[in-house]
């Protein structure tokens, strides 16, 4: 399936859960929230080479934490439901100043940008922790920019 089609399906589900829980669609900051995710994910997919994109969508064999993605899913869904109920139906948190919402969206965009940066500079970044021997995985001794970190020294004997 095309990556961008997967992105559209994911965003439709994400938005559907949020707006169904809210009971309305006239929530501009929720639309901006979805827009930030859409733009961030589209940029991330565009920047990644095809082989890395496939590893991140469907990781290779191995890894003991493979089920973690599915274990976390109910918590993501619950988060969206509670956010939708609060923003649309019940207003539990009361009205928030627009500046607070803008700061929250800026923090979201910054965190997403940091994630995209980490994914784009680390060719072994994967949703499953595993040694990727088929792709030449090895111990990394530098930071994202060459020379920014010193190699680890062994502990004294």
Residue 93 lies in a domain: yes
Domain count, the chain: 1
Segment 81-86 shows an average pLDDT of 96
Of 95, 89, 70, 92, whose CA–CA distance to 18 is shortest? 89
State yes or no: pLDDT of 36 exceeds 80. yes
Structural domain including 126 reads: 3-135
Q: Is residue 65 part of a domain?
A: yes
pLDDT at 28: 93
Residue 125's pLDDT is: 77
Return d(Cα 61, Cα 71) in angstroms, integer: 19
CA-closest candidate to residue 126, choices 51, 28, 18: 51
Domain contains 107:
yes
41 inside domain: yes
Alpha carbon distance 64, 76 (integer Å):
21
Q: How far is CA 59 from CA 11, 113, 128, in A?
A: 21, 22, 7
Does a structural domain hold residue 147? no
Tokens (6 digits) for 31: 């639309």
């Amino acid at each position: 399936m095309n990556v961008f089609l997967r992105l559209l399906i994911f965003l439709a589900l994400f938005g559907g859960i949020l707006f169904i829980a809210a009971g309305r669609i006239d929530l501009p900051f929720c639309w901006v929230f979805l827009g930030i995710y859409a733009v961030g994910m589209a940029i991330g997919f565009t920047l990644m080479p095809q082989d890395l994109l496939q590893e991140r969508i469907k990781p290779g064999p191995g890894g003991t934490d493979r089920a973690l993605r599915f274990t976390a899913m109910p918590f993501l869904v619950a988060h969206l439901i509670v956010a939708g109920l609060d923003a649309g139906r019940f207003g539990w948190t009361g009205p928030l100043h627009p500046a607070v919402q803008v700061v929250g969206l800026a923090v979201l965009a910054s965190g997403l940008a940091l994630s995209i940066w980490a994914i784009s500079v680390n060719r072994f970044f994967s949703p499953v922790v595993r040694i990727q021997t088929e792709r030449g995985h090895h111990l990394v001794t530098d930071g994202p920019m060459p020379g920014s970190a010193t190699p680890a020294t062994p502990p004294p004997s």
